[in-house]
Amino acid sequence: MKKIILIVGLVLSLCNGVAQNQDPTLDVALNNVNQSAVSSGIIYERTMQLANLYNFNREEGFNVANYKYFKQALLEMHNASNKNLFVNLDQLDGQLEQEAQNIVPIGILNTDFQLLNYNMDNETLGGLLYNEDTKRFSQINGRPPFYTLHTTVIAPLKKVVNEIEINYKMQPVLSNYVNP
């Protein structure tokens, strides 16, 4: 009986989730905001920030990247650019499959990115106001709507190498904004 109630509850919650209107995308919400300061084409809030690139290389002890972290950071920057910049993870995997067993590609993600200058707790401290009714941002006069951060993530792009002799290879296709 408990399982039936659980299943019915799950189905009803899924139906409720599907029936709700989707919020507009961040880009739609920013239509009324001057975006000339978005020089990189990357607004970090467009993606879920699991890699925490806000703080990478800024907090003590948070400055070492491995293959898994690099892939997450690359995915976030790719998505934050509306999938216009950088290679996607499938392209990355395709490039890595072509490497010899004793070659360890070194990925370099080196880019500026923009953040919303929005303070949810006290909007007057930021550069943007959010209207819940229209689901749109507006710019506070005299305040920048975005601020810029820079990140550099360097990591080996293989988890394990079982060879006696190992060669490292820089991956220029992963640097900056190249998207083959």
What are the domain boundaries of the chain?
Answer: 24-174
Q: How far is CA 160 from CA 31, 36, 70, 104, 138, in A?
A: 46, 43, 15, 9, 49
Strand (E) or helix (H) holding 67: helix 67-80
Distance CA(83)–CA(95), nearest Å, equals 18
Cα–chain center distance at 152: 14
pLDDT at 24: 60
Host H or E run for residue 106: strand 103-116
Return the number of other C-beta atoms located less than 10 Å from residue 52's C-beta. Answer: 14
Q: Is 88 exposed, middle or buried (0-12, 13-18, 19+ CB in 10 A)?
A: middle
Closest to 41 (Cα-Cα) out of 148, 117, 139: 148
Each of the 180 residues of the chain gets a pLDDT tens digit; together they read 555 555 555 555 554 444 444 456 999 999 999 999 999 999 999 999 999 998 898 888 888 899 999 999 999 999 999 999 998 999 888 888 877 777 888 889 999 999 999 999 999 899 999 999 999 999 999 999 999 999 999 998 887 777 777 777 876 545 544 443
- Per the listing, tokens 């988890």 go with 159
Q: Is the dihedral of CA 172, 177, 178, 180 positive or negative?
A: positive
Element (H or E) spanning 111, and its range?
A: strand 103-116
Q: What is the structure's pLDDT at 11?
A: 57
Determine the angle formed by the axes of helices 89-97 and 67-80, rounding to 10 degrees: 140
What pLDDT score does 20 carry?
41
Give the pLDDT confidence score for residue 136 in this predicted structure: 95
Element (H, E) at 90: helix 89-97
The whole-model pTM stands at 0.78
- What local confidence, expressed as pLDDT, does residue 19 receive? 40
Confidence at residue 172, expressed as pLDDT on a 0 to 100 scale: 57
Q: What is the pLDDT of residue 103?
A: 81
